[in-house]
Amino acid sequence: MTTTQTSGQDLRIVIIGAGMAGILSAIKLREAGYENFVIYEKSDRLGGTWRENTYPGIACDVPAHLYTYSFEPNPEWSSTFASGPEIQSYFERVAQKYDVIPYIRFNEAVPYCAFEDGRWRIRTSSGREDEADFVIAATGVLHHPHTADIPGLDSFAGACFHSACWDHSVPLEGKRVGVIGTGSTAIQITSALVDKVGRFDLFQRTAQWISPIENLTYSEEQKAEFRRNPALLQEVRDLANKEFERFSNAVIDAESDEMKGIEAECLANLEDNVRDPELREKLRPNYRAGCKRLIFSSDFYEAIQHPNAHLVTTPIQGVEPGGVRLADGELRDLDVLVVATGFRADSFIRPTTVLGRNGVNLDDVWADHPVAYLSISIPEFPNFFMLNGPNGPVGNFSLIQIAEHQVNYILQLMDRVRAGECRAISASAEAAAEFERQRTAVAKRSIWSTGCKSWYLDKNGVPASWPWSRSRFFEVMREPELEAFELAS
């Protein structure tokens, strides 16, 4: 094994994606003494999810002070749950402050990367060829829109678009607007638009449990106090962390008292806030709260009871030029149709072609379902690391918290190469298989395994998320167990 130390200047790193995790990676690489890196970004702006999703009402369902880099608190958040534009501005501001922009190559997707002769060969959409010692895939989780297979969708005569591709040139005031879907996006759109349009139809295939939240607005005096007193800001963050700890530990054990308490809160929210008994029953899910991603909203039940609002539960037969035809023959005539049917959560870095050692194709490795050791490393893909990759705690943590711990873990692996202990490092097949065996067994005890269909489940019906506690995740991420990795000279 080589013992020649390599400087951070000599090692070349390619980061794919300039969203939350890509920006974080750049900041932490520079902090650790790595300067020879580039970020390839497919769009003309940074921001990832918050750049692409601009629909009315978009907001994060994680408290803003928790959805913030730990090293860059933000006393300026306007409310408990910040809006999308605010979050986008935050990431732009952080990228400017930490001088990340010069490292980004905009409008350059990465359709191909292959591990050849000990290095990664990268090809971008502009035809650029690059070589790197490491690749960090910071491509996000929910960024490939999923459009439901609805007959006749292309025939609609009015404006029609996916919620992730919102057309802001389309006027909505006084229009008949229909939204297909009832996930977090559709719920936020409902609250934002119902009193601004002529008629609002929400087409519901599956009812959702709504967890009540209090979205407090921070006054100018409070924000000034946050600026003066960083300790107070940390107290707010600590309180949000405590609430998240409760939720995160509840969902991993379907029979826990904490989970039953959350279910009771959701049930009371429905019973106490929907007056019409017929509407209440339409909104009542037939599965346990938390089985699907729990939706947090302070005003959806109020919005769906607005005189302009109509909850449509009759199945959709198809879309016609004039609107949506229901299975009972009724035509819901519309001017604007929004498809809010989510994302392909199992895509991760795909459709990029990723070839590992000896030409092994990531698509073949993931033919059954995406897997990665601790969601970070894949056997036979040396020096290739993922942030918020497969089987991570995406359903019950703040993604920023996850990414910060993962970057710290990845840097420790990279430092083994920089120290000259090896030239390439990746999880061993045995460690990855054992991790997946344990994870799958434990996941079956979680609330996600209690009988509903959701994007948390892989094609075999097994939850694809981290099924253990937050404290276990933070402990595991503290330091790599090198016996779980192959170190190649």
Judgement on whether residues 330 and 348 belong to the same structural domain of the protein: no
92 in a domain, yes or no? no
- Which of 296, 320, 339 terminates a domain? The answer is 339
Tell me, yes or no, whether 277 and 332 share the same domain: yes
Mean pLDDT of the residues in the chain: 94
pLDDT band at 3 (very low <50, low <70, confident <90, very high): very low
**Total residue count of the chain as it appears in this document:** 489
Q: What is the pLDDT of residues 19-74, one digit of tens each?
A: 999 999 999 999 999 999 999 999 999 999 999 999 999 999 899 999 999 999 99
Same domain, 195 and 242: yes
Q: Is residue 479 part of a domain?
A: yes
Instruction: Give the residue from 339, 374, 397 where a domain finishes.
Output: 339
Task: Provide the domain count of the chain.
Answer: 2
pLDDT of residue 280: 98
Give residue 445's pLDDT.
93
Assign 5 a pLDDT band (cuts: 50, 70, 90): low
- 304, 322, 339 - which closes a domain: 339
pLDDT number for residue 396: 61
Residue 72 lies in a domain: no
**What tens digit of pLDDT does each residue of 288-318 get?**
999 998 999 999 999 999 999 999 999 999 9
Is 70 inside a domain boundary?
no
Mean pLDDT of all residues in 105-122? 98
Task: State whether 316 and 409 are in the same domain.
Answer: no
The band of 6, judged by pLDDT with boundaries at 50, 70 and 90, is low
Q: What is the pLDDT of residue 2?
A: 41
Q: Say if pTM beats, i.e. exceeds, 0.85.
A: yes
Residue 193 within any structural domain of the chain: yes
The pLDDT of 116-124, averaged and rounded, is 97
CATH code for the domain in which residue 455 is found: 3.50.50.60
What is the domain range of residue 21?
A: 13-46+100-144+344-488
pLDDT number for residue 350: 86
